[in-house]
Structure 1
């Protein structure tokens, strides 16, 4: 019986899938499966439960459909099953790191985002606070600038990968972006004048 027939889709939500993997699927192949899926564009979280045979997958519905996510899992299953095990054994590491498992990647990504946000805050605050006689609405302007920097940072890859290539398909995103720019310019004009 093939691996695909033994794999069961246990849950389907908006951007979230859970699978039961076959009991005969080896541990090394499970890790290889998770690595292959994490490299796919549109999949942002892959979790293997401590209980063998459980796989959880989160994907961005804007970037891939449900059928494409299933196709990615099917391809990764076949690839992981045929890939020979790696020669080097996994490094054990400290127990707290093993307990974190794939959550460690989330912590590293969030700490990187926090550092980038703090750097942006420092730059904006240095520019705004250089003048000791600040206008009354300066704090609001600083926070608006931070929000804009954050939105640009989080959506930039979507803009240049998908929105620019298929503008009519993403017309709602472009309308929202135009409206936010209108609000920004109106707030700046009111602040300056």
Structure 2
């Protein structure tokens, strides 16, 4: 059976899909190749492959890459990776058999894993808000003189931090490596920082 049929769509909303994937795609080399190739697609800005949970999460911009086009390109990528042999089962050394057995004996991930991920994301967001809040508290007169502008500046900082976190993987793995290809994204970043600095000037 083709490996494409083993990718089962479990969740879909605007700009976000999640697949249940086979164990062959969870090998470290195969997972890395699949993630890198998906990030090269226009419109795809975040790819997370959970190897233990055997899940693949893809976030994309539907205005650039429609769902049907994304699926077709995903199937094409799987076919290319299959030709390289990365999906073929790897022989397991006897010294590692006990590790494989220990992993197989573990309980399947449940709601606790989901709560852990959400807790980590929430903790990072709260930490970022504290940092921004401390910076804002250094100038209490600004809040007293113009509370509306102080609140807007604070929300702008939160938005910038959120956007950086959301696109960080894409920035480090794609935009920096190929700056000319993603020149429009870099222009958007520079313009965003220009607006942010300009809003702070009196």
- TM-score using structure 2 length: 0.59
Q: Which has the higher helix share?
A: 2
Asked if the contact 1:17–1:57 (Cα under 8 Å) also holds between the matched residues in 2, the reply is yes
- Superimposed CA distance per residue, residues 109-163 of structure 1 (whole angstroms, 9 cap, x where no aligned partner): 3322221211111121122124444132111111111111222233234323321
Which has the higher relative contact order, 1 or 2, with Cα contacts under 8 A spaced 6 or more apart? 2
In structure 1, the residue matched to 2:137 is 129
In the aligned structure 2, how far is the partner of 1:58 from the partner of 1:87? 30
2:48 paired residue number: 44
CA distance, structure 2, for counterparts of residue 148 and residue 98 of structure 1:
37
Please point out which of 165, 170, 175 is paired with 1:153.
Answer: 165
- Please identify runs of 4+ aligned residues in structure 1 that moved more than 4 A: 11-21, 37-40, 46-49, 59-62
Give the equivalent residue in structure 2 for 1:170: 182
Equivalent position to 1:68, from 72, 77, 85: 77
- 1:45 alignment partner, SS class: strand
Q: 1:38/1:86 Cα in 2 relative to 1: closer, same or farther (>3 Å)? A: farther
Distance of 2:139 and 2:18 partners within structure 1? 52
1:188, distance to aligned residue in structure 2 (A) = 1.6
Structure 1 distance, partners of 2:78, 2:115, is 25
RMSD of the TM alignment (CA)?
A: 3.9
The Cα shift of 1:165 comes to 2.4
TM-score by length of 1: 0.61
Q: Tell me what 2:4 maps to.
A: 9
Q: Give the greater-gyration-radius structure (CA).
A: 1
Q: 1:59: Cα distance to partner?
A: 4.5
Maintained 8 Å contact 2:48/2:58: yes
Are 1:87 and 2:87 an aligned pair?
A: no
- The answer as to whether partners of 2:133 and 2:154 remain within 8 angstroms in 1 is yes
